[in-house]
Every structure is written in structure tokens, then in C-alpha cells.
């Protein structure tokens, strides 16, 4: 169906082909559900274009998707259609192609965010439905510039890229081009465990939205799809993230005004009763295209320049947005579709059913259980929970990297294929053999004990390797090391851990125990 937001638009369109060239035509601009911010549709060269939005049921049905994520995408698209009024047409159809057929006009589109979506756009170009593919507005660095940066490199370290980004865009620099504070990276100051005996960090709460009528409408439609066989996972409780421009700006301001000063110090810590800690919680509006990433970075830098935020906190946040997020996006395209099939350790274990069902009771390990509760209830877990709990567990158990990456992309509200390929295949699972990371991110229970309050209430003991109360992360770490000793031997950063493994008096018992452990 074509939703009632559709209006006739007789304004001439301004089409941006090359910088500074303004070409008039009447071609509408089709926006995907992650291209919803004003920098995608209301810049001077685009602001007069009619806008097409298509809700494709196939996009929500072809694999399981977190219910809260589906809610956010649909609500954000409908909110934009309402905001744009006469300018917008919202089409609801079984597929994108059918949506274009119902709309009945040729469209232009920004470059999409996945290989599959790009393939679709290319087919639609061939069929005559798509005219031009415009550069994405969702990232700061053009892909051609990244290709020049990556040329002749065999490894793509984020720190190298991040420093280049700071220089290129003039962020947190002194007048002579050197980094403010004399250092590029203050990550060493951002690794403290939780405060002793604390149950929360005690920082100001993150912004929370007030739900609207669109939220009720979306839930009714998702209920209908569920009853018709759509495979949703997780829960769709009170909405936690922004779905429109004004909400995204309020979420950003709350973070900058009240939470940025404490960003960083405890970024790697985990507390059972404080799911948001001091994290920005801006990945959803950023990845839905509601926030302009460079504008976000400039706003954070202003807080530092005006004396409202410490340098270490500001730099840590800038590194996430201007460094890590951009680096992940560009490597997704630069490394290509085959990257997701890499499997350096030849992991073959299928992802367990309880992961797909987000069954937090599928494990007795408290850190893993608490993280899975967050994924189930909110579609969210912060980066250490993703890397050092979920990813660490998956690495030790030998789960298939491609399957794990697909799970991350669909189980998280901020998850998309471009987000997860480098983060899961490269960083978490080291499945690329060291293309983007210098060593595997594996650890035993001691790390989790130091960085969380989970181990004190767990049935397992992080200090124990063998027996009924042996920590599955501690024992699993050494069993994984033993299983992959040959593949790890050439990595100089793994020499000391491998030597420690060989000195374990109970190594044989650990390996045998973990071979039969059911997690």
C-alpha cells in the first residue's frame, strides 16, 4: 500500500552530481531506513527533492531480527515521513522492487550500507528504476580517499587511520598540527575497573524518549507480522533510542552536557545494575543516519575547548566516532564480501540455539547471562560485553565466525553488516589472521573479574580451571590456546601466553574437561 503521507510535490529538484554543480530535475530521492537524517535529504542541494521511503516486509522477514530493532527502523521511517509531510511518500510493500513499481517513478539513491543492498541497487539501475547513486552522507571520509589511504597496505591498524582522520579534519589539534595534550590517544586512562563496592557509576542518566502514537502503531504492525510468521527475537519494551531528528539532537545534548565529562574512565567496566554506565548510547541515531558524525565530533570538541569536558574523555569519544566507526565502515567495503568467510582458526561449531533465542538462562556463567539479558531486553550491550564476554566466549567455543557476525548484525539495535564484519571477523574472532588486529582478543575469567561485579555472584570461580566450579572462561581460554597453538605460534604477542600454557600442570585435565563442557 501507499501510506497516507503521500502528497503531490511540484517543486523542482536540485540534484547534486559533483561538488558545486547544481542540476535541476524532478527525480525523487529514495532513502533507506538508515539514511534518515537531514544531512541525507535537506542539505542545500537536496532540500527540494521529493522523498521516497519504502517499508519492505522482506527486509524484516528474510532472517530473524531483534524486535526492538525492527521497531526503531519502522518508527524512524514513519516519523520522517510525518516530519516531511507533502514532500514524502511512504510505500509499504512486500519488497523494495514492488515498492518502486507502486511508486511508479525513477529515483536516485544514496549508496547503501551493505553488499546485498548494493547488489539490489545495481539490479534496479539495470532495470531502469534507479538513476544515480549518490555518495553516502552518513560517514565523514569519502571512500575514494580511504582507498588512497589503504593503497599498498597489507594491514589496516585503526590507530594509523585515526591519526590521519584527526589531521585531515583538524580535530583536537594545536595550531602547529600536533595533537592537543601532546598525545594522540588517551586510551590508557580509560581502562579502570568499576569503583570498589559500587553497584552503579552514579553518573546522570541517559536521555530517554517519550513514546508516541507511532510506537503503538508500529507494535501493532509487528504483532501482525509475528502472527503471520515473521521471526523476531528479543523483546520490544519501552523504546530507549531516538527515532527522529529532534529526539536525536536531545539525546546528543544530554550526553554532551551531562555524560561526556565521565566518558572513558570506566568504559571497559561492567556492572550488573547499571546497563548504560557512562556510554554515549548514540550508536543507534548515528547508524540510522539521524546524526551527522562530523557535527557530533565538532560538538564534542567544543565542549573540550570551552573547558566543559576533560581531554581524555573527549578524545576517547572522538576516537569512537571519527576513528573506529569510520574505519569499520571503510574496511567493510575495502576488504570485500569474501572477508566475512575468513576463518583463521577453522572454527566449525554452529551458534547454539539459545543464542538465537536470546535465552539468558542457557548458561550459568553470570557475565554471559547478564550480557544476554541486555541483548534480549534492549538489543544492546556495550563494547566490552560484546568483545570480551560474547566474542571471547564464541572464540573459545569455536563458533563459526560468519554465523556469529550475522547474529551480531541482527541481535543488536545498532547492528548492520558493515558494523559487524570488522568488529566480529577481525577484532573479536581474529578470523582474518591479523589483517586488522595484532592479536586475538581472548582472556580468562581474571579479566572479567577485574572489570565487573559479576563473578561474586557466579557459580563458577575465575581462579579455578578444573572441577565443577571451574570458570568456563578461565578453563576455556587455556583449552582454546592448546587447540590453536599452531596457528598462534607465529604471533609474537602470543609467545608469553603460549609459554604459560605449556607450564600448566593440569593442562591435560583442562583440555579434556572443556571438550565435554556444554555451554
CA distance 311 to 294: 18
What does pLDDT average to over the chain? 93
Closest listed residue to residue 374, CA positions, set 301, 276, 443, 501: 276
Q: Contact 299/256 with Cβ under 8 angstroms?
A: yes
Cell of 143: 571512500
- Residue % of the chain over a pLDDT of 90: 91
What are the pLDDT digits (tens) for 475-506? Answer: 999 999 999 999 999 999 999 999 999 999 99
Instruction: Calculate mean pLDDT across residues 326-331.
Output: 97
Instruction: Return all residues near 336 (Cβ < 8 A) that are at least 6 apart.
Output: none
Which residue is listed with cell 565435554? 516
pTM above the 0.95 mark? Answer: no
Q: Contact 325/377 with Cβ under 8 angstroms?
A: no
pLDDT at 12 over 90: no
CA distance 232 to 230: 6
What are the pLDDT digits (tens) for 34-71? Answer: 999 999 999 999 999 999 999 999 999 988 999 999 99
pLDDT at 13 over 80: no
What are the pLDDT digits (tens) for 364-378? Answer: 999 999 999 999 999
In CATH, 341-516 is 1.10.579.10: yes
Cell of 503: 607450564
Which residue is listed with cell 609467545? 495
Instruction: Calculate mean pLDDT across residues 95-112.
Output: 97
pLDDT band at 110 (very low <50, low <70, confident <90, very high): very high
pLDDT at 7 over 50: no
pLDDT of residue 26: 74
What fold does the segment set 143-207+242-335 form as a domain? 1.25.40
CA distance 408 to 264: 24
pLDDT at 20 over 90: no
Instruction: Calculate mean pLDDT across residues 4-31.
Output: 47
pLDDT of residue 299: 98
Q: Are strands 13-16 and 22-25 parallel, antiparallel or unpaired?
A: antiparallel
Instruction: Return all residues near 97 (Cβ < 8 A) that are at least 6 apart.
Output: 120, 124, 127, 129
pLDDT at 22 over 60: no
pLDDT band at 189 (very low <50, low <70, confident <90, very high): confident
pLDDT of residue 18: 36
- Exposure letters 143-177 (e unless 16+ CB within 10 A, then b): eeebeebeeeeeebebeebbeebbeebebbeeeee
Instruction: Return all residues near 94 (Cβ < 8 A) that are at least 6 apart.
Output: 56, 57, 58
What fold does the segment set 13-134 form as a domain? Rossmann fold (3.40.50)
pLDDT of residue 6: 39
Instruction: Calculate mean pLDDT across residues 328-354.
Output: 96
CA distance 170 to 182: 15
pLDDT of residue 517: 81
Question: Residue ranges per domain, the chain?
Answer: 13-134, 143-207+242-335, 341-516
pLDDT band at 519 (very low <50, low <70, confident <90, very high): low
Closest listed residue to residue 416, CA positions, set 318, 322, 288, 323: 288
pLDDT of residue 516: 85
What are the pLDDT digits (tens) for 232-275? Answer: 999 999 999 999 999 999 999 999 999 999 998 999 999 999 99
pLDDT of residue 188: 86
According to DSSP, the residues that pair with 1 across neighbouring strands are: none
Amino acid at each position: 500500500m501507499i501510506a497516507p503521507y503521500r502528497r503531490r510535490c511540484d517543486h523542482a529538484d536540485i540534484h547534486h552530481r559533483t561538488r558545486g554543480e547544481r542540476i535541476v530535475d524532478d527525480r525523487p530521492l529514495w532513502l533507506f531506513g538508515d539514511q534518515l537524517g537531514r544531512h541525507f535529504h535537506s542539505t542545500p542541494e537536496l532540500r527540494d527533492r521529493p522523498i521516497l521511503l519504502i517499508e519492505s516486509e522482506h527486509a524484516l522477514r528474510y532472517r530473524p531480527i531483534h524486535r526492538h530493532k525492527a521497531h526503531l527502523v519502522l518508527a524512524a521511517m514513519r516519523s520522517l515521513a510525518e516530519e516531511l509531510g507533502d514532500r514524502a511518500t511512504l510505500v509499504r510493500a512486500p519488497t523494495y522492487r514492488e515498492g518502486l513499481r507502486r511508486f511508479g517513478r525513477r529515483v536516485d539513491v544514496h549508496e547503501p550500507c551493505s553488499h546485498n543492498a548494493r547488489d539490489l541497487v545495481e539490479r534496479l539501475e539495470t532495470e531502469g528504476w534507479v538513476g544515480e547513486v549518490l555518495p553516502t552522507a552518513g560517514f565523514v571520509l569519502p571512500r575514494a580517499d580511504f582507498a588512497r589511504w589503504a593503497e599498498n597496505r597489507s594491514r589496516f591498524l585503526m590507530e594509523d587511520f585515526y591519526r590521519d582522520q584527526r589531521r585531515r579534519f583538524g580535530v583536537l589539534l594545536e595550531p602547529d598540527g600536533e595533537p592537543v595534550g601532546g598525545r594522540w590517544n588517551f586510551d590508557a586512562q580509560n581502562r579502570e575497573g568499576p569503583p570498589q563496592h559500587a553497584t552503579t557509576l552514579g553518573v546522570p542518566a541517559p536521555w530517554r524518549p517519550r513514546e508516541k502514537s507511532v510506537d503503538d502503531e508500529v507494535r501493532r504492525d509487528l504483532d501482525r507480522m509475528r502472527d503471520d510468521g515473521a521471526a523476531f527475537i528479543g523483546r520490544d519494551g519501552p523504546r530507549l533510542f531516538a527515532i527522529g531528528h529532534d529526539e536525536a539532537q536531545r539525546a546528543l545534548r544530554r550526553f554532551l552536557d551531562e555524560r561526556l565529562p565521565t566518558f572513558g574512565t570506566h568504559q571497559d567496566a561492567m556492572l550488573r545494575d547499571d546497563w548504560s554506565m557512562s556510554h554515549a548510547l548514540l550508536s543507534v541515531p548515528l547508524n540510522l543516519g539521524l546524526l551527522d558524525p562530523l557535527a557530533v565530533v565538532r560538538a564534542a570538541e567544543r565542549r573540550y575547548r570551552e573547558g566543559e569536558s576533560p581531554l581524555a574523555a573527549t578524545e576517547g569519544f572522538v576516537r569512537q566516532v571519527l576513528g573506529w566507526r569510520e574505519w569499520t565502515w571503510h574496511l567493510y567495503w575495502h576488504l570485500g564480501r569474501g572477508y566475512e568467510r575468513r576463518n583463521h582458526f577453522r572454527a566449525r561449531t554452529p551458534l547454539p540455539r539459545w543464542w538465537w533465542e536470546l535465552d539468558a538462562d542457557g548458561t550459568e556463567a553470570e557475565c554471559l547471562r547478564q550480557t544476554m539479558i541486555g541483548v534480549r531486553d534492549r538489543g544492546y550491550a556495550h563494547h566490552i560485553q560484546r568483545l570480551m564476554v560474547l566474542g571471547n566466549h564464541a572464540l573459545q567455543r569455536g563458533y563459526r565466525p560468519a554465523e556469529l557476525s550475522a547474529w551480531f548484525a541482527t541481535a543488536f539495535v545498532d547492528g548492520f553488516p558493515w558494523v559487524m564484519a570488522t568488529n566480529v571477523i577481525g577484532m573479536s574472532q581474529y578470523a582474518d589472521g591479523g589483517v586488522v588486529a595484532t592479536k586475538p582478543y581472548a582472556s580468562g575469567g581474571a579479566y572479567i573479574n577485574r572489570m565487573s561485579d559479576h563473578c561474586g555472584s557466579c557459580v563458577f570461580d575465575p581462579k579455578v580451571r578444573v572441577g565443577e566450579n571451574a570458570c568456563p572462561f578461565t578453563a576455556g581460554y587455556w583449552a582454546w590456546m592448546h587447540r590453536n597453538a599452531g596457528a598462534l605460534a607465529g604471533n609474537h604477542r602470543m609467545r608469553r601466553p603460549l609459554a604459560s600454557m605449556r607450564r600448566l600442570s593440569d593442562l591435560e585435565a583442562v583440555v579434556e574437561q572443556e571438550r565435554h563442557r556444554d555451554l
